[in-house]
Amino acid sequence: IAPAKVLVLGTGVAGLQAIATARRLGAIVSAFDVRLAAKEEAESLGAKFIEVISEKTQGAETKDGYAKEMSEEYKRKQKELIHETLKSQDIVITTALIPGKPAPVLITEEMVKDMNLGSVIVDLAIESGGNCSITELGKVVFRHGVTLIGHANMPGHAPVDASALYARSLVNFITPMIDPETKDLAIDWEDEIIAGTLITHDGKIVHPTLTNGEGR
């Protein structure tokens, strides 16, 4: 039996986990992300990284490591690359997001029509608009021989594990804000995690995506 071919679009936390899980199950995995830094991470987990050859990828991420909106020229090349790659895939998992903006549409209906019958698309970005143009929020639909999964609140489908992971993340986030001796609140405003998650301070909006127009 030939191994399944899996394509992961977007290699943030969710995308990297999808790559690792698919590889453990024996799949042949390909991955795509606009960020150059994502290549090494994806390849370290055993994925083949497909990329658009363009000088513009040098500025494809923010200083915090998130993807930026790309140029129209880049999007055209990206569309061609993804379209061609989709034709040979069995499973596609999409996780691409841009903070403060709708999720980028990476898969069009025309691309879905060219996929193999029985293929599956799991759109994890559906709550932000979706990476596939014909995925439907909260539904599993069948279009052009392809199953499109658009579950809302994906963590809610695995509540026990999701709750444990969420609780652990909260503890790890809050613990550094507490003085270990006095147990008083002691926030380091220069800490990059604090700075990256702080929205308002002293009555002012301080997060850069809300003060420079990027998040509007």
Domains contained in the chain, CATH given: 5-156 (3.40.50.720), 158-211 (no CATH)
Q: Could you read off the pLDDT of 141-193 as tens digits, one per residue? A: 999 999 999 999 999 999 999 999 999 999 999 999 999 999 999 999 999 89
Buried b (16+ CB within 10 A) or exposed e, 84-95: ebbeebbbbbbb
Q: Could you read off the pLDDT of 71-92 as tens digits, one per residue? A: 788 889 999 999 999 999 999 9
**HSE-up of 145 (CA within 13 Å, CB side)?**
12
**Residue recorded with tokens 């790559």:** 19
Q: Residue 214 has what pLDDT?
A: 45
CB 2 within 8 A of CB 24: no
**pTM (2 d.p.):** 0.81
Distance CA 94, CA 32 (A): 10
211 pLDDT band (50/70/90 cuts)? confident
